[in-house]
Every structure is written in structure tokens, then in C-alpha cells.
């Protein structure tokens, strides 16, 4: 059976190494390989200066070899390797994820070198929304030694909200973690609230069938980002699972897309799943 592949974006900052350590903890449970990737940014003409480019690549190779030496022992069944690509950061990472047929992409969101500029503003969202697989983003300062115990999974009235369930359940089962189904009521309209309730019932049935521990609660919310994060703090969250597209509310429209807000502001790792054909 072919091993799962986890792609980890690296810029050698503390933030990206933190992301690598999170990825390693998942790879251990998932019996997966780790492939690190660093992108040397090309100039506007699409090429690096010869001397500068060679020096960057040589330094990156040495740093990668050091990371492999430090972390290889943690993968008893898998391997850790690296790839260097040239061009636009998000495009090269996405292309590599496609080529690798990655099961998961993990990246830090506030590096002090290569990714710092990249992750500011809408560019972070471009990678998350363009990736061909689920993506976990981890902000700088997120603890690395906490095992996955509590996963918050917000559920709204959008048809796509349920699509994150299968992958979220798979991750939770690896760690025997509890999924906190968080039903979000953004309106007093009965038909909308009833849809949220029906989605929650479907998800509970799915989790029961797959023997996943869960808790289900509902909240009246004004801003789904802020209220989700508040709830996450209350239950000592280790991961928040969202869709890259979510129900829109007036408050969220003022602040930008829901997923982008969560990626940029969550103090917890964020698992993003892209909408596709309905899974359940």
C-alpha cells in the first residue's frame, strides 16, 4: 500500500520548523512520509541571478540536511526528504502538492524570512484555496508539544459545510481526539436554523458509524470567526476544521472572508478543506 505524503512548506524560520514538528506528529500516527519544500523566488524575468541563486540553493540544501538529521528518527516507518523549486511561492507549492499527490499540506503563517511577506494579506488565502488537498496552517507561537485532543468543527447552513467531516474524522481518529461539532446560528430564520440542525444530525450519524468521539453544541453568533475562537479557547482546542468557503454574515463581510480571518488570526492550527462534490 502506498504511503500517504505530507508536504511541509519550509522557509527555515522558527514558525516553519514549528509547522514541520506538527506535521511530524501527524505523520507518526498516519504512517506517512514527509516532504519538505523550499521555493527560491525568481526575479520578475523568471530567473534568479546565477551567483545569488547558487548560494541560496547550497545554503538551503545544508539546512535541509540538518533538518533530516535532526528529525528522521521520529518517522519509524516513513521517510523525510526535501524538494527545492524556483518561482512564485504559492504556485510552486501547489504544483508540488499536485505532483506528490499530497494527502495533507502543512505550513506556518508568520515566518521571519521567506514566508513573512508571502503570508501577509490575501496571499495566504491563495495557497489555502489553491491546494489540491486539505491544508493545516499554523501561526507563529502555536505550541508544538500538545497532542491532538480536541477538534472544533464549525457547522453553518452552507451546503458545503459537511464536506470537511471525513478528513476531520480521519485526523481525529488517528489521535483518538474528540470532535466538537459547533452549530452556528447566524439568523433567527427558522428554515436556516433547521438546516444547521439537520446537518449536525447527519454528522453525528457519520461519526457514530466511524466510532469517533464527539460533542455537539449550538451557538448564537454575530461574528463566526470571533465566536468560534472564543469557544475553541473554552474547550482547550488543538485544531479548528473549516471550509475555505463559509456562510457569509454582515460582520464577516466587513472583516474579509471567514477562512482568511481564521488563518490569519487563529492561535490554534487551522485545517482548511476546499469545497468539492458533497461527501456525505
Residue 197 and residue 107 in one domain: no
Residue 164 and residue 52 in one domain: no
pLDDT confidence band for 81 (50 / 70 / 90): very high
Higher pLDDT, 277 or 188: 188
pLDDT at residue 280 greater than cutoff 60: no
Residue 222 and residue 191 in one domain: yes
Residue 255 belongs to domain spanning: 150-273
pLDDT at residue 162 greater than cutoff 60: yes
**Residue 123 pLDDT:** 58
**Residue 88 pLDDT:** 87
Give a yes or no: residue 31 inside a domain: yes
Q: Rounded to 5 degrees, what are φ and ψ at 37? A: -140, 135
The answer to which of 33-37, 81-85, 120-124 has the lowest mean pLDDT is 120-124
Give a yes or no: residue 73 inside a domain: yes
pLDDT at residue 255 greater than cutoff 50: no
- The tally of domains found in the chain comes to 2
pLDDT digits (tens, 9 = 90+) for 88-137: 888 999 999 999 999 999 998 864 444 444 544 445 677 888 899 999 99
Which residue, 95, 116, 138, sits at the end of a domain? 138
pLDDT at residue 256 greater than cutoff 70: no
Give a yes or no: residue 280 inside a domain: no
Residue 163 and residue 125 in one domain: no
Q: Rounded to 5 degrees, what are φ and ψ at 105? A: -115, 130
Residue 134 and residue 205 in one domain: no
Residue 128 and residue 155 in one domain: no
pTM, two decimals, is 0.88
pLDDT at residue 43 greater than cutoff 80: no
DSSP characters for 189-227? Answer: -HHHHHHHHHHHHHHHHHHHHTT--EEEEEEE-SSHHHH
pLDDT at residue 278 greater than cutoff 50: no
- The mean per-residue pLDDT over the stretch 171-193 comes to 95
Q: Strands, E, within the chain: which ranges?
A: 4-9, 32-40, 80-86, 104-108, 135-138, 150-155, 178-185, 214-220, 239-243, 270-273
pLDDT at residue 279 greater than cutoff 50: no
User: Which of 91, 86, 93 is closest to 45 using CA atoms?
Assistant: 86
Average pLDDT of every residue of the chain? 86
- Output the domain CATH number for residue 125: 3.40.50.620
Residue 16 and residue 78 in one domain: yes
Residue 129 and residue 216 in one domain: no
Give a yes or no: residue 143 inside a domain: no
Higher pLDDT, 221 or 49: 221
Residue 97 and residue 73 in one domain: yes
Give a yes or no: residue 234 inside a domain: yes
Higher pLDDT, 121 or 177: 177
pLDDT at residue 257 greater than cutoff 90: no
**Residue 56 pLDDT:** 85
Q: Rounded to 5 degrees, what are φ and ψ at 40? A: -85, 115
Residue 24 and residue 103 in one domain: yes
Share of the chain above pLDDT 70, in %: 84
Which residue, 94, 115, 138, sits at the end of a domain? 138
**Residue 48 pLDDT:** 47
| 193-199 LR contacts (CB < 8 Å, sep 24+) | 193/157, 195/157, 196/155, 196/156, 196/157, 199/155, 199/157, 199/161, 199/162
Distance from C-alpha of 88 to C-alpha of 211, rounded to nearest angstrom: 42
Give a yes or no: residue 279 inside a domain: no
Higher pLDDT, 270 or 244: 270
Distance from C-alpha of 57 to C-alpha of 124, rounded to nearest angstrom: 24
Residue 69 and residue 195 in one domain: no
pLDDT confidence band for 263 (50 / 70 / 90): confident
Amino acid at each position: 500500500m502506498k504511503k500517504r505524503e505530507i508536504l511541509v512548506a519550509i522557509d527555515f524560520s522558527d514558525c516553519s520548523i514549528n509547522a514541520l514538528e506538527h506535521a511530524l506528529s501527524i505523520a507518526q500516527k498516519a504512517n506517512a512520509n514527509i516532504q519538505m519544500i523550499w521555493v527560491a523566488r525568481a526575479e520578475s524575468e523568471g530567473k534568479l541571478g546565477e551567483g545569488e541563486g547558487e548560494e541560496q540553493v547550497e545554503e538551503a540544501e545544508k539546512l535541509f540536511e540538518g533538518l533530516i538529521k535532526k528529525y528522521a528518527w521520529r518517522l519509524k516507518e516513513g521517510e523525510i526528504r526535501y524538494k527545492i523549486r524556483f518561482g512564485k511561492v504559492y504556485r510552486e507549492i501547489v504544483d508540488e502538492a499536485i505532483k506528490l499527490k499530497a494527502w495533507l499540506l502543512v505550513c506556518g503563517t508568520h515566518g521571519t524570512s521567506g514566508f513573512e511577506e508571502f503570508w501577509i494579506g490575501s496571499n495566504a488565502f491563495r495557497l489555502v484555496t489553491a491546494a489540491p488537498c486539505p491544508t493545516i496552517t499554523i501561526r507563529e507561537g502555536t505550541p508544538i508539544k500538545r497532542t491532538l485532543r480536541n477538534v472544533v468543527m464549525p457547522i453553518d447552513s452552507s451546503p458545503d459545510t459537511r464536506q470537511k467531516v471525513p478528513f476531520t474524522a480521519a485526523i481525529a481518529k488517528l489521535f483518538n481526539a474528540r470532535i466538537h461539532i459547533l452549530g452556528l446560528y447566524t439568523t433567527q430564520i427558522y428554515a436556516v436554523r433547521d438546516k444547521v440542525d439537520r446537518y449536525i444530525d447527519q454528522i453525528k450519524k457519520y461519526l457514530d458509524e466511524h466510532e469517533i468521539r464527539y460533542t455537539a453544541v449550538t451557538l448564537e453568533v454575530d461574528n463566526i470567526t470571533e465566536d468560534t475562537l472564543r469557544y475553541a479557547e473554552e474547550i482547550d482546542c488543538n485544531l479548528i476544521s473549516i471550509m475555505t468557503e463559509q456562510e457569509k454574515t454582515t460582520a464577516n463581510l466587513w472583516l474579509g472572508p471567514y477562512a482568511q480571518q481564521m488563518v490569519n488570526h487563529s492561535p490554534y492550527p487551522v485545517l482548511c478543506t476546499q469545497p468539492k462534490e458533497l461527501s456525505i
